[in-house]
């Protein structure tokens, strides 16, 4: 027995009390352990805490380094603590967690004070440390913002784990790069760009203290929304910095007297709208396909592209200006201006019914896409008409037919017959007609191509058929299935503008086909090179064949269906071809210089007639001549280089044979090696001799033909 204050306690009671205390302790310990286990059941593991990496945005750059667009789930750019001004670090610590360097994730002294204030007043101040705020921001789903004790306990647990793994400087750096500061900006670097249009390391103390004040309530203290409140909050921040010992009263008053001038930053948005929208969307799709959506939007890629912003601007302006002009002159019932007015009134049409257009520009030597206009408004119509839309090519397909003719023994001065022609296809009778509705009899191959005359082109089918033409277009990069019908010679079937530009680029590039590309380099957020472009090329044509086609197509711009390019802005050496389909549902032009190849398509989204005279020469060529004229004026004159072996002879344009002194219509003509006329003209008298004074430009017959 025990004696306590003269009270005798039986031994059996002492044992029972001790046993009860032990049981109570064990139950409490067990309950605590169970509670901890329950509260931590889905908290992040130590491994995940050791590998914390906030989501980072992907930045898309143009070829000159300009930022085109940014993709992100959170607009954030990570910067090291050494690049964040000390004044900003001190301001944040002062106003958000003055004892940051003295606690281990939980500030017990501050916590007791907060509890006392909550019990004795109606105020409810926050007691979260920077580490606790970081924990909430890193794991918002696990630590929701509701004020519950269970959430607070879980938050403490994560905060203490973070403190056990990272140093104070590392925690502060993560916090400053993670915290939300309004207007979609996460972290102080993104906020600096958003509110002041400069880097965080360029901020002064007045701006730093204002950013620090925004953390508590970003929208309320935004200098864009409420500049007066932002100043009041900054004064509070400066006062806390005095109390924390970071500033003297005089220093704080000096900073407080400084005006802050918010400037909306020029950072690109997390959308694919705006400048070069169709190009950027193609880049985005390629990145998502190659690296996945998570890496694109969260891990931060640095992507350098081929886009030339100046060329892109010229292309967009040329296309829009010309289509507006055509809409006005043709008095279409629906124009883009009317469509936009209806949208503004809240009455958007169900379909895009105004005139559409597309443009593509390629570097013929590298395959780099320098500019892309996939339509008139990406916001309203995201279907890219350079890469996704397949349309009938019409006469723009003819160069591939004439290429095949040269390979099968024809020469530029071969005489073709423009006369009525009927072909039994086995299914129906095919009667090709010329755009003009007239037939002109004999003409040279060069003339037939440059004036885009249908009937002599169609008759070539009788000579070599479809197979060699299909083989050529496959070599030149077409992947869209082609119809195996004679009408293919006149552009039946459907192709994309991107395929047309790639094929024509091979003519300009001495017969070498180059794979098109939009991206030159991709880096991770840490600077690791993930992708570096390699130019993929192969010989599709013999260089002499490519030169012959270039030479033939140059006549289109000199005196054929593309002659108007000369007074529409394009004055340098060039070659190309117009294209118009039945009822003018599609209008094309694709032209090139020794360096650049540009293609244009114009039409309605649905294959509807554009009206009388809506040819490639009128609807598409002016757009090309406008922007390509500016590009070549900047680049300077470039001649097409003639490869070795090309033969030049003076020929009679009426017989296609070697000219004599009696021929009245002659021209200097070029030929493939071992494939040029051997016979002297038998239509005119005279002797064969050297015509050294003949103008090298090909002479003109009467011009009353297609697509003018």
**Average pLDDT over all residues of the chain:** 85
Dist CA 522 CA 409 (whole Å): 48
Whether pLDDT at 662 is above 90 = no
Q: Return the pLDDT at 693.
A: 38
Whole-number percent of the chain with pLDDT over 90: 59
Sign of CA dihedral 34, 36, 40, 45: negative
The alpha-helical segments, DSSP class H, found in 465-577 are 467-475, 497-508, 543-559
DSSP 8-state secondary structure symbol assigned to residue 268: P
Whether 461 and 489 have beta carbons less than 8 Å apart is answered as: yes
pLDDT of residue 15: 62
What's 167's DSSP letter?
Answer: -
Q: Which two tokens stand for residue 292?
A: 């996945």
652 contacts 553 by C-beta, under 8 angstroms: no
pLDDT, greater one: 597 or 696: 597
Please give the structure tokens belonging to residue 154.
């879980």
Do 618 and 562 form a contact (C-beta atoms < 8 A)?
Answer: no
Rounded Cα distance, 45 and 193, in Å: 34
- Alpha-carbon Rg of the chain, whole angstroms? 38
How many of the other CB atoms lie within 10 Å of CB of 412? 25
Quick check: helix, strand or coil at residue 210?
helix
In terms of DSSP H, where are the helices of 223-350?
227-244, 249-256, 277-291, 293-298, 309-330, 336-344
The lowest-confidence range among 262-271, 334-343, 407-416, 553-562 is: 262-271
662 compared with 117, residue with greater pLDDT:
662
Q: What's 209's DSSP letter?
A: H
Give the pLDDT confidence of 486-495 residue by residue, as tens digits: 999 999 999 9
Least Cα distance to 75 among 185, 159, 157, 163 occurs for 185
pLDDT band at 57 (very low <50, low <70, confident <90, very high): confident
Q: What is the pLDDT of residues 501-511, one digit of tens each?
A: 999 999 999 99
Average pLDDT over residues 668-685: 88
Instruction: Encode pLDDT of 69-110 as tens digits.
Output: 988 877 888 888 999 999 999 999 998 888 888 887 777 676
Q: Where do we find the tokens 């040819």?
A: 615
Distance separating alpha carbons of residues 177 and 189, to the nearest angstrom: 7
Q: What token pair was written down for 129?
A: 């440390």
575: β partners: 592
> What pLDDT is recorded for position 594?
97
How high is the pLDDT of residue 683? Answer: 85
Note the pLDDT tens digit of each residue in 576-631.
999 999 999 999 999 999 999 999 999 999 999 999 999 999 999 999 999 999 99
Structure tokens at 433: 């007609």
Determine contact, residues 358/601, Cβ cutoff 8 Å.
Answer: yes
What pLDDT score does 280 carry? 95
Average pLDDT over residues 368-396: 94
Tell me which residue of 253, 282, 298 sits closest to 385, measured CA to CA: 282
Residue 490, Cβ neighbours under 10 Å: how many?
24
- Residues written for the chain: 708
Domain boundaries of the chain, sorted by first residue: 2-39, 76-256, 394-635
Q: What is the pLDDT of residue 664?
A: 87
pTM score, two decimals?
A: 0.78
The residue among 293, 368, 310, 386 whose CA lies nearest residue 519 is 368
Place of tokens 């016979």: 679
Residue of higher predicted confidence among 72 and 214: 214
Q: If pLDDT is split at 50, 70 and 90, which confidence band does 694 have? A: very low
Class of domain 394-635: alpha beta
Q: Which residues contact 189 (CB under 8 A, 6 or more apart)?
A: 76, 77, 78, 79, 177, 199, 200
Neighbours of 202 (CB within 10 A): 11
Mean pLDDT of the region 181-197: 88
The pair phi, psi for residue 462, each rounded to 5°, is -65, -25
Instruction: Give the per-residue pLDDT at 180.
Output: 87
pLDDT of residue 158: 77
Judge whether residue 674 has pLDDT over 80.
yes
Distance CA 596, CA 264 (A): 37
* Pair of tokens at residue 666: 């002659």
The residues with which 577 forms a beta bridge, in sequence order, are 590
Evaluated on CA atoms 197, 201, 203, 207, the torsion sign reads: positive
Nearest partner of 538 among 362, 305, 367, judged by Cα: 367
- Half-sphere exposure of residue 643, counting CA atoms within 13 Å on the CB side? 20
Cβ neighbourhood burial of 52 (10 Å; 0-12, 13-18, 19+): middle
> Domain 76-256 is of which CATH architecture?
Orthogonal Bundle (1.10)
Q: Are 580 and 616 a contacting pair, CB within 8 Å? A: yes
Question: In what helix (H) or strand (E) does residue 195 lie, and over which residues does it extend?
Answer: helix 188-196
d(CA 492, CA 141): 57
CA distance 417 to 439: 9
pLDDT value at 68 more than 70 = yes
Q: Compute the distance between CA of residue 395 and CA of residue 385 in angstroms, rounded to an integer.
A: 19
Could you tell me the pLDDT band of residue 699, with boundaries at 50, 70 and 90? very low
For residues 449 and 406, what is the distance between their CA atoms, to the nearest angstrom? 12
Which two three-digit tokens encode residue 640?
A: 């097409």
What pLDDT is stored for residue 24 in this prediction?
Answer: 60
Q: Is the pLDDT of residue 459 over 80?
A: yes
Looking at the predicted structure, is the pLDDT value of residue 696 above 50? no
**First vs last Cα of the chain: how many Å apart?**
124
d(CA 117, CA 122): 8
Specify whether the backbone of 561 is left (phi greater than 0), alpha (psi in -120 to 50) or beta.
alpha
- Rounded CA-CA distance 234/248 in Å is 15
Quick one: CA dihedral 447, 453, 459, 465, positive or negative?
Answer: positive
Label residue 184 by pLDDT band (50, 70, 90): confident
Residue 268 has pLDDT above 50, yes or no: no
Q: How far apart are CA 58 and CA 232, in angstroms?
A: 35
Q: Which of 213, 205, 173 is nearest to 189 (CA)?
A: 173
- Residue 17, classified by CB atoms within 10 Å of its CB into exposed (0-12), middle (13-18) or buried (19+), is exposed
Q: Reduce the DSSP state of residue 180 to 3 states and report it.
A: strand
Q: How far apart are CA 156 and CA 260, in angstroms?
A: 37
């Amino acid at each position: 027995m025990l004696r306590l204050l003269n009270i005798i306690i039986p031994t059996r009671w002492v044992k029972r009390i001790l046993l009860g205390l032990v049981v109570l302790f064990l139950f409490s310990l067990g309950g605590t352990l169970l509670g901890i286990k329950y509260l931590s059941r889905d908290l992040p593991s130590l491994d995940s805490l050791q590998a914390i990496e906030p989501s980072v945005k992907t930045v898309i750059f143009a070829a000159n380094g300009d930022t085109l667009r940014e993709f992100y789930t959170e607009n954030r750019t990570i910067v090291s603590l050494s690049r964040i001004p000390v004044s900003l670090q001190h301001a944040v610590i002062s106003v958000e967690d003055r004892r940051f360097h003295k606690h281990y994730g939980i500030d017990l002294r501050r916590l007791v004070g907060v509890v006392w204030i909550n019990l004795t007043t109606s105020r409810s101040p926050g007691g979260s440390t920077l580490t606790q705020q970081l924990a909430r921001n890193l794991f918002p789903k696990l630590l929701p913002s509701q004020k519950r004790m269970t959430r607070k306990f879980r938050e403490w647990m994560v905060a203490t784990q973070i403190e056990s793994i990272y140093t104070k400087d590392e925690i502060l750096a993560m916090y400053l790069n993670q915290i939300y500061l309004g207007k979609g900006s996460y972290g102080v670097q993104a906020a600096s760009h958003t509110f002041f249009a400069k880097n965080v390391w360029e901020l002064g103390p007045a701006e730093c203290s204002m950013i620090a004040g925004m953390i508590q309530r970003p929208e309320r203290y935004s200098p864009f929304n409420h500049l007066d409140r932002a100043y009041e909050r900054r004064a509070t921040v400066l006062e806390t910095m005095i109390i924390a010992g970071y500033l003297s009263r005089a220093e704080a008053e000096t900073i407080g007297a400084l005006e802050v001038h918010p400037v909306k930053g020029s950072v690109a948005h997390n959308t694919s709208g705006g400048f070069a929208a169709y190009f950027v969307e193609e880049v985005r799709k390629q990145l998502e396909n190659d690296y996945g959506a998570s890496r694109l939007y969260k891990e931060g890629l640095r992507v350098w592209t081929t886009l030339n912003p100046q060329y892109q601007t010229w292309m967009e302006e040329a296309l829009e200006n010309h289509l507006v002009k055509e809409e006005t002159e043709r008095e279409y019932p629906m124009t883009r201006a009317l469509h936009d007015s209806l949208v503004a009134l809240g009455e958007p049409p169900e379909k895009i019914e105004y005139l559409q257009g597309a443009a593509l520009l390629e570097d013929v030597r590298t395959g780099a896409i320098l500019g892309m206009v996939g339509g008139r408004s990406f916001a309203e119509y995201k279907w890219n008409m350079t890469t996704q839309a397949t349309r009938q090519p019409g006469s723009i397909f003819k160069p591939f037919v004439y290429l095949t003719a040269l390979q099968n023994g024809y020469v530029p001065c071969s005489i073709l017959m423009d006369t009525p022609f009927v072909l039994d296809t086995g299914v129906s009778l095919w009667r090709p007609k010329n755009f003009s509705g007239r037939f002109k009899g004999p003409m040279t191959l060069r003339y037939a191509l440059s004036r885009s005359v249908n009937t002599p082109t169609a008759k070539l089918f009788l000579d070599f058929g479809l197979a060699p033409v299909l083989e050529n277009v496959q070599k030149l990069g077409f992947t869209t299935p082609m119809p195996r019908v004679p009408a293919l010679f006149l552009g039946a079937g459907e192709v994309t503008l991107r395929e047309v530009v790639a094929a024509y680029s091979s003519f300009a590039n001495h017969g070498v086909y180059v794979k098109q590309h939009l991206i030159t380099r991709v880096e991770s957020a840490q600077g690791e090179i993930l992708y570096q472009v390699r130019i993929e090329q192969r010989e599709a044509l013999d260089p002499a064949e490519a030169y012959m086609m270039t030479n033939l197509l140059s006549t289109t711009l000199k005196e054929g269906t593309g002659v108007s390019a000369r007074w529409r802005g394009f004055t340098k050496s060039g070659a190309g071809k117009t294209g118009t389909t039945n009822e003018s549902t599609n209008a094309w032009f694709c032209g090139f210089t020794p360096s650049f190849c540009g293609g244009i398509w114009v039409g309605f989204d649905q294959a509807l007639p554009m009206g009388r005279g809506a040819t490639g020469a009128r609807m598409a060529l002016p757009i090309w001549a406008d922007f390509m004229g500016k590009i070549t004026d900047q680049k300077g004159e470039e001649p097409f280089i003639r490869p070795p072996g090309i033969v030049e002879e003076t020929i009679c344009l009426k017989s296609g044979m070697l000219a004599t002194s009696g021929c009245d219509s002659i021209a200097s003509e070029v030929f493939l090696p071992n494939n040029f006329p051997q016979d002297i003209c038998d239509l005119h008298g005279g002797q064969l001799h050297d015509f050294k004074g003949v103008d090298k430009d090909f002479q003109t017959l009467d011009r009353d033909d297609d697509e003018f």
